Amino acid sequence: MVQQNIELGDLTDKNIGQLKLLNSTTLAVTYDDKFYQKLLGNGFITKLAYFNDILVGAVSCRIDPPTQELPHSSLYIMTFGVLAPYRNLGIGKKLLEFVESLCLEKNYQKISLHVQVGSEAIDFYKKYNFIIESTVNNYYRHIEPPHCYIMAKSIKKQ
């Protein structure tokens, strides 16, 4: 694994078009311009992953406020993708490590996300100790299968 070639960068109004292109290539769901503009605002965190200065992956999260079940805020992964030729090089791992370290730093107790039933991403998340919490039928409108799992990982300070 050649980790020294992987760098993380911030989302700006200058590279948001690159994120749109990356997501249109790696995700089954399409997002509108309003979604991307929201990512530049407060309450959202996006990291871009570069391999030899080429954008090859990204994660976008929103901060969810505390609830009765979770007395601290949590992170919800809205989008997560790595271009197919760059998978298994540690890029997804580095993006997840960023999310987890942010949770530890900010005392967020949980990371959660929706994953399409049958997606190869399920095994990726399980490898990093995410569990399937529940199934949501007919979650997606324009893709097959339309069902998804809610996967989550608890974060605790050591």
Q: Of the residues 76, 128, 139, 140, which is catalytic?
A: 76
- Given a cut of 90, is residue 155 above it in pLDDT? yes
Mean pLDDT of 48-63: 97
Q: Which residues contact 2 (CB under 8 A, 6 or more apart)?
A: 89, 90
Mean pLDDT of 31-50: 95
Q: What is the pLDDT of residues 12-26, one digit of tens each?
A: 999 999 999 999 999
- Report residue 157 as tokens: 């300070």
Query: Closest by alpha carbon to 7, among 54, 77, 60?
Result: 54
Mean pLDDT of 134-149: 93
Q: Of the residues 31, 50, 72, 114, which is catalytic?
A: 114
For CA atoms 142, 78, 21, 127, the dihedral sign is negative
Query: Closest by alpha carbon to 150, among 128, 129, 130, 135?
Result: 135
Q: What is the mean pLDDT of the chain?
A: 93
Considering only residues 107 and 2, tell me which one the structure prediction assigns the higher pLDDT.
Answer: 107
CATH number, residue 74: 3.40.630.30
Residue 138, Ramachandran bin (φ over 0: left; ψ between -120 and 50: alpha; else beta): left
Overall domain count for the chain: 1
Q: How far apart are CA 119 and CA 29, in angstroms?
A: 13
Residue 158's pLDDT is 65
The overall longest dimension of the chain from CA atoms, in Å, is 44
Mean pLDDT of 37-50: 94
Q: Is 76 a catalytic residue?
A: yes
Q: Is 139 a catalytic residue?
A: no
Domain that holds residue 116: 3-154
pTM for this structure? 0.91
The stretches of 11-140 forming alpha helices (DSSP H) are 16-26, 33-39, 91-106, 121-127
